[in-house]
Amino acid sequence: MRDQFDSACAPRDANFLWVNLTRQTSTALSEIAGHAFDVHCLRDTSQISAAVERHAPLFFCFEFDVPDTPGIIALADTRRTHPSLPVLMITGCHSDAMTLWALRIRVWDLLLKPVLSEELWPCLTALIELTRQGRSGPAREIRFPQRVEQALPAPNGPLLNPLRKGRTHAAILHVTTHFDCKIALEQAAALCRLSPTQFCRLFRQEQGVSFGQHLLRYRLEQACQRLAHSGALVKDVAYSVGFNDLSYFTRAFKRQLGVCPSDYQAGARLS
């Protein structure tokens, strides 16, 4: 990974806080990032606010082995206390519940270890560009961007990138036929004859996103198509594509597409 970080091209005044909640006093990821950027590492979450005052960071990176209750509380508190600073979350353990929780508190991105340089480097540089743009204009809360594969589609247009076949293709097929039902990560892994940990890692490698992200986006793509139908009710559409909480559907839809379901529906009917 070290060779992939071009420290000569990295902006040295780009600083951020790396909150290390792993078992190690120092991590390989934070050390490598430190060769290219001005990274301030800390392990004591009670010092986060003081570190923000001292360093004025552009964003946070929270690194976990396995997220525990104190670490999750600290991350959530940080989002509430510093809502204008994006959070990149890196973890060695993944679950659908964790993905949904991260989505709800507006974590900017969630990376699953082992993290490759081609994943980490674009995240860090994109966050730097984002926060600098936010600070160059009037004071406001940063609007978290959608990544390239999350671009706003035109009405009736695709939300998902073409997916690659591989060992996880059975899970992809299962989503296309059972997206309106509850799909547990363990169930998807079993279809691919993989352990949940192996499945999470391989799915991201093959498809470029986590399984939870793919499932969410597929459901939203189906919702987009159904919202374009005359007479469709937002509540009915939400339930028909696998959501059992209308408020969560509305938040997820707006975060992914940039507009609320009713506004998207109005635009689709006018097009």
Mean pLDDT by 10 residues, the chain (271 residues): 47 81 90 87 94 93 87 88 91 71 80 80 84 52 35 44 69 88 92 92 90 91 83 91 93 85 72 47
What is the maximal distance between C-alpha atoms in the chain? 58
Pair (112, 198) in one structural domain? no
Pair (127, 24) in one structural domain? yes
Given phi > 0 = left and psi -120 to 50 = alpha, else beta, which region is 56? left
Q: What is the pLDDT of residue 229?
A: 79
- Cβ-contact 220, 237 below 8 angstroms: no
Q: What is the pLDDT of residue 12?
A: 52
Residues in the chain, overall count: 271
- Cβ-contact 191, 174 below 8 angstroms: yes
Residue with tokens 């926060």: 131
Residue 66 φ then ψ, to 5°: -130, 120
Pair (202, 231) in one structural domain? yes
Pair (108, 224) in one structural domain? no
| Whole-angstrom distance, CA of residue 32 vs CA of residue 242 | 41
Alpha helices in the chain (DSSP H): 28-36, 48-55, 69-81, 96-104, 117-136, 169-178, 185-191, 196-207, 211-227, 234-240, 246-257, 261-270
Q: CATH number, domain at 45?
A: 3.40.50.2300
Distances in Å between the alpha carbon of 265 and those of 156, 160, 235? 10, 19, 12
CB neighbour list of residue 203: distance below 8 Å, 6 or more residues apart: 168, 171, 210, 211, 214
Pair (184, 238) in one structural domain? yes
Q: What is the pTM of this model?
A: 0.50
Q: What is the pLDDT of residue 188?
A: 93
Q: What is the pLDDT of residue 271?
A: 47
By residue range, what is the domain housing residue 13?
2-136
Q: What is the pLDDT of residue 101?
A: 73
144 in any annotated domain: no
94 in any annotated domain: yes
